[in-house]
Amino acid sequence: MNIAHHLYSNNIKPSVQRIKIFEYLYNSKNHPTVDTIYCQLAGEIPTLSKTTVYNTLKLFIENGITSSLIIDGNEARYDAIMKKHAHFKCNDCGYIYDIEINDLKLKDSQLAGFEIGETNIHLIGKCKKCLTK
């Protein structure tokens, strides 16, 4: 996965900041918050500004290579995996799992004629790891 090329082919000029931010997002796979991303990269890019992280993620979202998810309400998390999937957040360890969706059936009649642009599914509970310890 060549990140610079990935950005280019999505109409994003690959600056150092953009490459590093996407690289972190893509490799970490832990649905980080802006603060997490900022703190992780502040070492590598000492001049990095939190505003840049916000701007960059917004740009990524607008160009369809990142999505945001809000599970807690208080702060947004980001995801470089664009394949449609659900999320499970464990209330104990805080980890957010990716869950594949096999099928979602809603009552058709109510949504007939509606245009659905986005489907968000998130579950909350306790994960296996936390339950068995």
Residue 75: closest CA among 98, 62, 93, 57: 57
Instruction: Pick one of 21, 48, 90, 96: the residue that binds Zn ion (CB under 5 A).
Output: 90
Residue 90 binding result from Mn ion, DNA, Zn ion, none, given CB thresholds of 5 to 8 Å by partner type: Zn ion
Number of CB atoms found within 10 A of residue 28's CB? 13
C-alpha span between 68 and 77 (Å, rounded) = 6
Residue 93 binding result from Zn ion, DNA, a copy of itself, none, given CB thresholds of 5 to 8 Å by partner type: Zn ion
91 near a copy of itself (CB under 8 A): yes
Structure tokens at 88: 């499970």
What residues form DSSP beta bridges with 96? Answer: 89
Structure tokens at 111: 């949504």
Q: Which is nearer to DNA, 9 or 49 (CB)?
A: 49
Residue 114 binding result from Zn ion, DNA, a copy of itself, none, given CB thresholds of 5 to 8 Å by partner type: a copy of itself
Q: Which is nearer to DNA, 30 or 33 (CB)?
A: 33
